[in-house]
């Protein structure tokens, strides 16, 4: 009976993979037709992409791309990739080929949007990195929590709390203390979540939603009743960019990586530290064991409760740091619900990145690119309505989380309360 069940299970898996492969093939073929008929036929000139800023030490010539020929070339590649999905052995390459196809389709779209115009490609990539900061830090907070089997739906609230605290304390005591206070407040809400779900075993989704609503209510009230009356409490300084000597002068790479404020550099440092902690240290191994099989970890002497508390509190502090970006790293003031769902997009980036800090950062860059894309298209005055442009980051979230690239497996004990035997 067991052998029959295993055979049926394998057949179901093979059928699911084959269905996914065929779906990807049809999507690529449809994208090829769309690129050829819309972007190719509707283009007549060339798109100019500027790679240098005025006054750069090293000037890189502009990249000029003939819009229509490029669209037809991309359509041909997409058609080839789509046809490849119907051949034998295509299942193992589905995710990679679909990712390449989506990237090519986006470049064709950019070329069509910039047909007969010019815009700074380096500036767009730089904006992509900046806008990915709160998403990446939210995703990292989620990774730290879910690796020890605690679902952190409260990331949105922690980001919002960090933004509010950073604005108020930063206005009173300066940016450094404002950032420190935002991190501390994020940690406090992380501790609140840990107490609710670890000690009192409240449903993790309900606890996270409750914290989100609590923070939204408190900050909305304070913004309307306090900050509007005492405006000096909502005038925080913004952290300036720190240019790395010599490296910041490099063409394209310099502005992209070495001309940012503390939030961008902090994001890279935190992702690196989290990756090293989770996958190259004994404590990280214990944390992952707690997320996969807490009973076995407890049997080996690991304090499951303490490790979950530590990770959730640190995750809250990371989210608080990310929330401060909205005020101390961007606009210098707090506005009602200014995080705009970035915490939930961070959760999507965490899932898309398969619960790995570096992969979650890469996924956050995809969402950051979608965010910067809608602003760039508005500047280029494309015929796409502004309401649809504003939807781009959220549409990208739906598409990626829907499992187009492939299914991701969460830690086995994720979301399950642990009761010590």
pLDDT in tens, 38-73: 999 888 889 999 988 877 778 889 999 999 999 999
The three-point CA angle 128-371-109 to 5° equals: 90
- What are the E-state strand segments in 169-257? 242-243
pTM: 0.91
Tell me whether residue 414 is in a domain: no
Tell me whether residue 415 is in a domain: no
What band does 21 get if pLDDT is binned at 50, 70 and 90? confident
Tell me whether residue 420 is in a domain: no
84 & 167 share domain? no
Express as a percent the part of the chain with pLDDT over 90: 63
Phi, psi of 321 (to 5 degrees): -60, -45
Which residue among 116, 146, 180 closes a domain?
116
Look at residue 403 in the predicted model and tell me its pLDDT. 54
Tell me whether residue 369 is in a domain: yes
Tell me whether residue 411 is in a domain: no
Token pair 């300084």 is found at 237
Q: Find the range with the poorest average confidence among 11-25, 332-346, 360-374.
A: 11-25
Number of domains composing the chain = 2
Look at residue 273 in the predicted model and tell me its pLDDT. 97
Tell me whether residue 345 is in a domain: yes
95 & 174 share domain? no
342 & 389 share domain? yes
What band does 97 get if pLDDT is binned at 50, 70 and 90? confident
181 & 329 share domain? yes
248 & 147 share domain? yes
Look at residue 230 in the predicted model and tell me its pLDDT. 92
**DSSP label at residue 65:** E
27 & 137 share domain? no
Report which of residues 393 and 142 the model is more confident about. 142
The three-point CA angle 120-262-270 to 5° equals: 105
Q: Find the range with the poorest average confidence among 118-132, 150-164, 213-227.
A: 118-132
Q: Find the range with the poorest average confidence among 37-46, 195-204, 241-250, 395-404.
A: 395-404
Which residue among 80, 95, 116 closes a domain?
116
Which residue among 60, 83, 116 closes a domain?
116
108 & 137 share domain? no
Look at residue 5 in the predicted model and tell me its pLDDT. 54
What's the token pair of residue 88? 């034998």
Q: Say how far residue 318 (Cα) sits from the centre of its chain.
A: 14
DSSP 230-274: -GGGG----PPPEEPTTGGGSTTHHHHHSEE-HHHHHHHHHHHHH
284 & 149 share domain? yes
Whole-angstrom distance, CA of residue 321 vs CA of residue 185? 9
Tell me whether residue 337 is in a domain: yes
Q: What does the pLDDT look like over 185-232, one tens digit per residue? A: 999 999 999 999 999 999 999 999 999 999 999 999 999 999 999 999
- What are the E-state strand segments in 223-269? 242-243, 259-260
101 & 172 share domain? no
Tell me whether residue 175 is in a domain: yes
Whole-angstrom distance, CA of residue 366 vs CA of residue 247? 25
Look at residue 1 in the predicted model and tell me its pLDDT. 47
Alpha helices in 327-356 (DSSP H): 342-352
225 & 354 share domain? yes
325 & 212 share domain? yes
Express as a percent the part of the chain with pLDDT over 70: 92
17 & 43 share domain? yes
Q: Determine the structural domain holding residue 381 and report its residue range.
A: 126-401
Q: For the domain that residue 182 is a member of, what is the CATH number?
A: 1.10.3470
What band does 86 get if pLDDT is binned at 50, 70 and 90? confident
Q: Does the structure show a pLDDT above 90 at 13?
A: no
What's the token pair of residue 286? 């214990």
Where b means 16+ CB within 10 Å and e means fewer, 141-175 reads: bbbbbbbbbbbbbbbbbbbbbbbbbbbbbbbeeeb
Whole-angstrom distance, CA of residue 380 vs CA of residue 119? 8
């Amino acid at each position: 009976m067991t052998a029959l069940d295993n055979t049926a299970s394998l057949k179901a898996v093979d059928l699911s993979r084959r269905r996914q492969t065929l779906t990807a093939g049809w999507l690529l073929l449809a994208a090829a037709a769309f690129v050829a008929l819309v972007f190719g036929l509707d283009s007549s000139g060339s798109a100019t992409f500027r790679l240098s800023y005025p006054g750069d030490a090293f000037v890189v010539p502009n990249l000029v791309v003939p819009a229509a020929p490029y669209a037809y070339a991309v359509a041909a590649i997409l058609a080839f990739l789509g046809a490849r999905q119907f051949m034998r052995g295509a299942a193992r390459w589905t995710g990679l080929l679909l990712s390449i196809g989506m990237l090519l389709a986006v470049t064709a779209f950019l070329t069509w949007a910039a047909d007969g115009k010019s815009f700074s490609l380096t500036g767009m990539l730089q904006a992509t990195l900046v806008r990915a900061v709160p998403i990446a830090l939210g995703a990292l907070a989620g990774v730290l929590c879910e690796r020890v089997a605690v679902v952190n739906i409260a990331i949105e609230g922690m980001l919002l709390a960090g933004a509010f605290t950073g604005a108020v304390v930063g206005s009173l005591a300066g940016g450094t203390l404002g950032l420190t206070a935002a991190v501390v407040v994020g940690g406090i809400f992380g501790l609140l979540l840990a107490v609710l779900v670890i000690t009192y075993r409240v449903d993790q989704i309900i606890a996270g939603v409750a914290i989100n609503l609590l923070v939204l209510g408190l900050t909305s009230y304070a913004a309307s009743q306090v900050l509007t009356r005492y405006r000096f409490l909502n005038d925080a300084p913004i952290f300036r960019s720190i240019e790395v000597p010599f490296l910041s002068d490099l063409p394209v790479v310099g502005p992209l990586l070495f001309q940012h404020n503390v939030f961008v550099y902090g994001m890279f440092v935190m992702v690196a530290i989290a990756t090293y902690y989770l996958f190259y240290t004994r404590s990280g191994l214990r944390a992952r064991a707690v997320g996969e099989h807490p009973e076995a970890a407890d049997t080996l002497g690991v304090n499951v409760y303490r490790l979950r508390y530590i990770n959730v509190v640190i995750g809250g502090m990371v989210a608080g740091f990310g929330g401060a970006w909205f005020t101390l790293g961007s606009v210098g003031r707090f506005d009602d619900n200014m995080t705009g769902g970035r915490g939930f997009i961070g959760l999507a980036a965490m899932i898309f990145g398969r619960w790995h800090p570096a992969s979650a950062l890469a996924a956050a860059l995809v969402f950051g690119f979608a965010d910067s894309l809608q602003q760039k298209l508005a500047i280029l005055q494309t015929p796409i309505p502004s309401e649809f442009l504003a939807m781009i980051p959220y549409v990208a979230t739906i598409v990626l989380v829907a499992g187009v690239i492939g299914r991701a497996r969460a830690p086995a004990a994720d979301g399950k309360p642990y009761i010590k035997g």
